[in-house]
Amino acid sequence: MTLDSGMNMKIQEKNIINIKVGVIGLGSIAKKHIHYLKKQNNFKVKIYYLNFNGSNHSKTFINNNFQKTFKDLNLIKKNFLDLIFICTPSSKHINDYILLNKYCSNFFIEKPLCLNKNCHKRIEKYKNFYIGYVLNHKKIINKVRDIINYKNKKILNVEISCKSYLPSWRANKNYKSGHTYNSDLSGGMLYELSHEFEYAYNLFGNYDIYSYEYKTSNKIGLIIDNFKIVTRSKKKNFFINFDLSLSSKKIERKCKIYLRNEIINIDLNKNKIFIVDKHNNKQLLYSYKDDDMYENQINYLLKKISYPKSIFETNNFRSSRFTNNFLSKIIVNR
């Protein structure tokens, strides 16, 4: 196997590859990535904490998960790290990437890449990053794409829902102190739930705003916590309806695709696809017991940097740029 000279990886006797990973930002999503990085069998992953702003975290967690903590950027040698995970609040992603870019050949940047439509232009020339829209790594999403292509039937309408209860997102943490509750850090509800818009683009192509409405329910505080957005496919002229909530006790993540004589009903939380016929008979079409999108994503990223290829993908960048451009059209008075 030929490895890029810029990557500090060695193949061991049992085909185990050493990879050095840096992590900046240590919130709940970073800890999830760290968990899966440590589960690898085909890769020996050493993880380093990039703590340039002096954040305080559990010493036990730091000692149990990191080889070393870098508190000074100047102490990191160029290409010492093979991959850097940027998991800081959304508003800091671009600046953190630009700060670190010359030190590493590959970057994973949590979604969204940024909070405005212009920031993609600042870094597109580098082509060494991957944006973490993790739903693309669900087997169930890829199967839906296959079904749509196989059936080749006219889509009449699409309904996408993502409903959750923000206070229960992160255990043992006051949700009002988290970045999701602070729109200046997270971009607000739409950017936080931008997964739905990104995978809709990948499945159905370009679409544009038809109408939208939003409200603050006061169930979880004074933030916008409910959005209904109607969009229209530009090429095929069907509607895609988004129903999003951060204050719903009914937890769901679903997509319904209405065809002429049937409905493709996808439950992304349960990893199941059903077909409902015109007589309302429901039939299980596919079910996945093993479809951990975060584990799938980590496996994908590590395999990708194990060969002399850039981690950058045109489709990944294109869908991220579309999502940001789309969300920037929705004017919300914060």
Query: Looking at the 3D structure of the chain, how many domains does it have?
Result: 2
**pLDDT on residue 194:** 97
Task: Say whether pLDDT at 282 is over 50.
Answer: yes
Note the pLDDT of residue 122: 92
User: 89 and 179 in contact (C-beta within 8 Å)?
Assistant: yes
Question: Quick check: 6 pLDDT over 90?
Answer: no
Q: What is the mean pLDDT of residues 99-115?
A: 96
In a domain, 329, yes or no: no
Read off the pLDDT band of 11 (50, 70, 90). very low
Q: Is residue 320 part of a domain?
A: no
Name which of 283, 278, 275 is nearest 256 in CA terms.
275
Inside any domain, residue 146 = yes
Exposed/middle/buried for residue 302 (C-beta within 10 Å: 0-12, 13-18, 19+): buried
Can you tell me the distance from the alpha carbon of 236 to that of 255, in angstroms, rounded to the nearest whole number?
Answer: 18
Decide if pLDDT at 151 tops 90: no
**Residues 38 and 153 placed together within one structural domain of the fold:** no
Residues 125 and 144 in one domain: no
Q: What is the mean pLDDT of residues 16-40?
A: 94
Residues 301 and 200 in one domain: no
CATH code, domain carrying 76:
3.40.50.720
In this structure, the answer to whether residues 124 and 158 fall within a common structural domain is no
Report the distance separating Cα 45 and Cα 23, nearest Å: 12
60/121 same-domain check:
yes
Q: What global pTM score does this model have?
A: 0.91
Q: What is the pLDDT of residue 112?
A: 96
What are 221-276's pLDDT values in tens digits? 999 999 999 999 998 889 999 999 999 999 999 999 999 999 999 999 999 999 99
- Residue 14, pLDDT score: 52
253 and 160 in a single domain? The answer is: yes
10 found inside a domain: no
Res 178: pLDDT: 87
From the number of C-beta atoms within 10 Å of its C-beta (0-12, 13-18, 19+), residue 284 rates as exposed
Q: 152 and 109 in one domain?
A: no
Tell me: do 232 and 143 sit in the same domain. Answer: yes
pLDDT band at 80 (very low <50, low <70, confident <90, very high): very high
Same domain, 153 and 168: yes
Q: Assign residue 151 the CATH number of its domain.
A: 3.30.360.10
pLDDT given at position 299: 94
Percent with pLDDT over 90 in the chain: 79
**How high does pLDDT run on average in the chain?**
91
pLDDT bucket at 333, cuts 50 / 70 / 90: low
In a domain, 326, yes or no: no
| 256 inside domain | yes
Q: How confident is the model at residue 3 (pLDDT cuts 50, 70, 90)?
A: very low
- The boundaries of the domain holding residue 277 are 139-290
Within-domain flag for 26: yes
Q: What is the pLDDT of residues 134-148, one digit of tens each?
A: 999 999 999 999 998
